[in-house]
Amino acid sequence: MTVFRFLDRSLFRLVSIVTQLLILSAVAAGFYQVIARFVLESPADWSEAWTRASLIWTVMLGVALAFRQGAMLSVEMLHSFLGPRNKRWLEHVILVICVAFLGFMAWAGGQMTWRVRFQTMPSLEFSISWVYISIPIGMVLAILAVVAFWAEGPRKAIVDDTVI
């Protein structure tokens, strides 16, 4: 089990680092776009496309990171009413629903990636399929994350004492 835990931690640590670098590059490209447009009065055509592409990748990879932390479909009220055995059963149902949805999204994203493989992003001069492929990659990583979270065993109750 420790090998799987090591692979899990290593994979999602790498995903986290890549996601952080992508968000940093999106911020830098957006900042450059503002400076180029309003200070230098010579807007760059690549920065907006890069910002959009890197933010899309950030979201798709971020979904996997969120699922790994347990931020998934949850029915807190129902979960709190159930006994320990039924709580685990509910977690199985949630796992199946999440994996089915993410699997469908991965399939649909793969179909879209295949359809647009010959289209290019003029300002960046590479195929737009490199942006679309973030959908199936992110969803497959999210499936791995959901299964890894589920495999850790019954989840702990989250108590939020925040007064609204």
Q: Can you tell me the distance from the alpha carbon of 109 to that of 115, in angstroms, rounded to the nearest whole number?
A: 10
Specify the pLDDT at position 1: 62
Instruction: Give the whole-angstrom CA distance, residue 126 versus residue 133.
Output: 13
| Rg (alpha carbons) of the chain, rounded to whole number | 20
- Determine the pLDDT at residue 80: 78
Predicted TM-score (pTM) of the model is: 0.85
The residues spanned by each domain of the chain are 2-151
pLDDT value, residue 164: 61
| pLDDT score at 73 | 61
pLDDT-flagged residues of the chain (< 70): 1, 72-75, 155-164
State residue 74's pLDDT score.
66
- C-alpha–C-alpha distance, residues 15 and 109, integer Å: 19
Tokens coding 147: 């299964």
